[in-house]
Amino acid sequence: MKNFEYVRPDSVAQAVQALDRRGAMPLAGGMDMVPGMQDNVIIADRVVNLKSIRDDGVRGIRETDYGLVIGALTTLTEIAEHPVVQSHYAALAEATVEVGSPQIRNAGTLGGNLCQRPRCWYFRNEHYNCLKKGGPRCFAADDDAENQYNAILGGGPAYIVHPSNCASALVALDATFHVAGPDGPRAVHADDFFVLPTERLLQENVLRQGEIVTHVEIAAPADGAKSAFLETAERAGFDWGISGAAVSGVVRDGVINGPRIVLYAVAPIPWRARDAEALIDGKPLTEDAIRAAGEAALAGAEPLSNNGYKVPLTKTMVRRALARLA
Ligand SMILES: Cc1cc2nc3c(=O)[nH]c(=O)nc-3n(C[C@H](O)[C@H](O)[C@H](O)COP(=O)(O)OP(=O)(O)OC[C@H]3O[C@@H](n4cnc5c(N)ncnc54)[C@H](O)[C@@H]3O)c2cc1C
Ligand code: SF4
């Protein structure tokens, strides 16, 4: 591991100040960052440990007039076990409880989960200097590549999938991410927070140098609002999912309004299946409608050489998640 300077800020303001220079990175639970640094694929010359921040707003879960506020340093265990999250924001509770193992959820935080780096094998191997690390090409796009876990939607020139399942749930729940930075605080809709490689190659979100996520806000659910998250993993109870879906909508008398269908682990960002959403909006959630939504959600898929299996698998994830709402 490369040597680095270590900073323990007392406040968000101090953290932002310490991070406002090239090569400085925030550290939260360290579940992604520390192994990445040990493997020389995440390089920081200044590590700013957010856990020393004493400001109240960055920790814990609070109910407000608007809905729910979750501090970025809240652990995944706290979120998964929170009764209000479980009863009113099921997609988030179901996504959070799927993260890694209990040990990882006890140490890992919401902010770190949303901002974790990609899992692509070539990215995680220091000997492959691929596009995502400023190198000349994407190794995953080769015909003989180990690309079974890479993107089938929205790929190019890089084909990562966004690793955070909480991110898909929060997009489905139309959350807002609050960010602090050198230019002051700003709010970013979850829909706009994650960016495709065509927009930014070296990072997966809109954060600028010096900015951190401080908290996430989700509106109180409307009467009849429901949500669900489902994933498939090769080793259940430990691994990242290889496909999944987060869905939400207001369901009354069997009719769904304002559906959101977000695909997980198939695109470089949590992937809104907008055609599928439009297909079922305002309609009864029948078996036929659910099947049609699954087909529409994957209509634009372009698998790589070894990940065609994700197309039927993800259709099934969408169908099963929507069936839960029905
Ligand atoms: C075996 C294993 C299995 C896992 N399985 C899953 C899984 O199934 N699903 C899943 O989603 N994740 C999974 N993870 C990934 C990840 O470790 C956890 O999701 C965890 O939440 C990361 O949080 P952390 O606080 O430890 O982040 P850290 O490792 O501290 O940070 C991760 C990244 O986020 C940045 N960061 C941290 N906090 C902030 C902030 N507030 N603002 C801006 N940037 C920030 C850091 O600079 C770093 O780049 C797994 C990890 C392991 C080791
Ligand atoms: S998909 Fe992204 S991380 Fe993987 S090899 Fe291609 S550029 Fe690198």
Residue 239, pLDDT score: 87
Say if 56-115+163-219 and 225-325 have the same CATH topology: no
pLDDT tens-digit map of 292-323: 999 999 999 999 999 999 999 999 999 999 99
Q: Which atom number of ligand 1 is nearest to the Cα of residue 241?
A: 8
Gap between the terminal Cα atoms of the chain: 50
C-alpha dist (Å) from residue 302 to 137, 206, 309: 19, 25, 11
Q: For 175-187, what is the mean pLDDT?
A: 98
- Is pLDDT of 118 > 80? yes
Q: With a 6 A CB cut-off, is 15 part of the ligand 1 pocket?
A: no
Distance from C-alpha of 54 to C-alpha of 61, rounded to nearest angstrom: 15
- Is pLDDT of 325 > 90? yes
Sheet holding 61-63: strands in order across?
Answer: 61-63, 67-71, 212-219, 176-180, 186-189
- Is pLDDT of 64 > 90? yes
Inter-residue contact 175 to 289 (CB < 8 Å): no
C-alpha dist (Å) from residue 68 to 65, 106, 244, 248: 8, 21, 24, 16
| CA 108 / ligand 1 centre spacing (Å) | 6
Which mutation among 47, 115, 230 tests ligand 1's pocket best, with the greatest number of atoms within 8 A of CB?
A: 115
pLDDT tens-digit map of 277-300: 999 999 999 999 999 999 999 999
Q: State the ligand closest to the CA atom of 135.
A: 2
Residue 316, pLDDT score: 98
Q: For 1-12, what is the mean pLDDT?
A: 95
Residue 80, pLDDT score: 98
Q: State the ligand closest to the CA atom of 123.
A: 2
Q: Which atom number of ligand 1 is nearest to the Cα of residue 109?
A: 25
Q: With a 6 A CB cut-off, is 264 part of the ligand 2 pocket?
A: no
Q: Which CATH number fits domain 56-115+163-219: 1.20.58.760, 3.30.465.10, 3.40.50.300, 1.20.1240.10?
A: 3.30.465.10
- Domain 225-325: assigned CATH number: 3.30.390.50
Domains of the chain, by residue range, sit at 56-115+163-219, 225-325
Question: Of the candidates 167, 17, 11, which has an alpha carbon nearest to the alpha carbon of residue 92?
Answer: 167
Distance from C-alpha of 227 to C-alpha of 325, rounded to nearest angstrom: 7
Would you tell me how many other CB atoms lie within 10 Å of the CB of residue 78? 20
Sign, CA torsion 212/79/293/278? negative
Q: With a 6 A CB cut-off, is 71 part of the ligand 2 pocket?
A: no
Residue 2, pLDDT score: 86
Residue 189, pLDDT score: 98
